[in-house]
Structure 1
Amino acid sequence: ARLQHSRVWIVDPVDGTREYGEERADWAVHVGLAIDGVPTIGAVALPGHEDGIVLRTDQPRVVPPAPEKLRMVVSRTRPAPQAVAVAEALGAELVPMGSAGAKAMAVILGQADIYLHAGGQYEWDSCAPAAVALAHGLHASRIDGSPLIYNQEDTYMPDLLICRHEHADMVLGALAEIAAQAA
């Protein structure tokens, strides 16, 4: 029935279940609204963060400037080979972290500059983080640069890129070059 609706709530009550169970800080709660497939409204709570903050689409913050050496946030348990290769190509430092929401919010909070994931996720893993990132003026797309489209019959989302707009072409170019070398 959800496929027949223009507006669909996509919720992940505990993103980063492993991190939550280990009593780590890098887990999140996601509430996102996709309108006609576009991640439009959302909130990502970081209850384990020292300030217990909630980042929202209706209250965008100024994203801190990037340092000279970029930082790429990756899975702490299984970093995607593409992300590692792009980090090497860009000379970026890898920052391991738990949940998708925590990683995306790390870019907004200035703790990282690029979040590239190619290991597969589901719509609930990225809808709210993508909506919040977009509201904060960041780039959010698939790793081929195509738009993120939600409320699909198959809820599997194979990849995700969240970064500052000024880094998007550089990251997408590095991904294309790595894919060409592998072919």
Structure 2
Amino acid sequence: MNLRDLSDAELAATLAVEAGRILKDVRETSGLEGKALGKAGDAAANAYLCEAVRAARPEDGLLSEEEKDDTTRCAMSRVWIVDPVDGTREYGERRSDWAVHVGLAVDGVATTGAVALPGLDDGVVLRSDVVEPLKPAAPNPRFLVSRTRPAKEAVAVAKAMGGELLEMGSAGAKAMAVVRGEAEIYLHSGGQYEWDNCAPVAVAQAYGLHCSRIDGSPLVYNREDTYLPDLLICRPEYADTVLGLVRGS
């Protein structure tokens, strides 16, 4: 397969799936556990993704969590933003709620992406060019929160809306749980970086979900400062209510 011949969306999905395969192989053959496993997996997946992106799209910029940032990307229109292992802790603990993110931002907007969930039995990959109808929402909204640090805004808004809190690992796993109909709202305010949500946002937007900062402003990518501390990904029918409650909290 010549990666250069693939569309952007096909490339994102192909790279996410292959990085997931590499990560599963490292987990199964390295004999490592915990932080050591996470570090080894990150290194292997990052090496593959960075080499593949540069070979397939040599004129584009690249931002990876696991590689020293070259801010010359900020002058480029097209920048690939990747997270080789989103949820390194969960990966190292051999849980299923971790992900691989391959996203493309064009002029600061998350336009194309793929999120692989290799830890699931079906090894699913969600992509911005292959979209299915959203499943019916639950009568009471389900909120996805961190296993260890639930966002105070999410806890407060869920209480106000009579919602249920669901704990889950990586940001990508949470975002894709909304896409997959396993929850309705992912409200996060505990700090993230561009690689944590670029690909998930591209996929979620393609499915028709609401994606923004928690003050309602747009999510902007390929900035010199890659810190992107908060976001809201939710069913569109809940967006105004959630944003209003956050403003009033």
Question: Which amino acid in 2 is paired with 1:55?
Answer: L
Distance 1:109 1:50 in 2: 15
Q: Give the Cα–Cα distance (whole angstroms) in 2 for the partners of residues 28 and 61 of structure 1.
A: 20
Question: What residue number does 1:89 align with?
Answer: 160
Name the stretch that deviates more: 25-34 or 58-67: 58-67
Larger radius of gyration: 2
Instruction: Name the residue aligned to 1:76.
Output: 147
Q: Percent identity?
A: 70
- Give the secondary structure class of the aligned counterpart of 2:205: helix
Which residues in structure 2 correspond to 1:12-161 (within 5 Å)? 12-161=83-232
What is the aligned partner in structure 2 of residue 163 from structure 1? 234
Query: Which residues of structure 1 form unaligned runs of 5+?
Result: 179-183
Shift of 1:67: 1.0
4+ aligned runs moved over 3 Å, structure 1: none
Q: Tell me the amino acid that sits aligned with residue 67 of structure 1.
A: A
CA deviations over 1:135-160 (Å, ceiling 9, x no partner): 01100000000000000110000101
What is the RMSD of the two structures over their aligned residues, measured on CA atoms? Answer: 0.5
Query: What secondary structure sits across from 1:49 in the alignment?
Result: coil
Matched letter for residue 147 of structure 1: P
Mapped pair 1:10 → 2:51: no
Distance 1:114 1:26 in 2: 17
Equivalents in 1 of 2:236, 2:184: separation in Å?
10
- 1:5 deviates by 0.2
Instruction: Provide Cα deviations, 1:97-151, integer angstroms capped at 9, x if missing partner.
Output: 0000000000011111000000010000000000000001100000000000000
What is the TM-score normalised by the length of structure 1? 0.96
Distance, in Å, in 2 between the alignment partners of 1:75 and 1:145 is 21
Helix, strand or coil at the partner of 2:158: helix
Q: Residues of 2 paired with 1:130 and 1:57: CA distance?
A: 9
* Higher fraction of helix: 2
* Aligned amino acid, residue 85 of structure 2: V
What are the superposed Cα offsets for residues 2-50 of structure 1, whole Å, 9 maximum, x if unpaired? 0000000000000000000000000000000000000000000000112
State the TM-score, normalizing by the size of structure 2. 0.71
Unaligned runs of 5+ in 2: 1-71
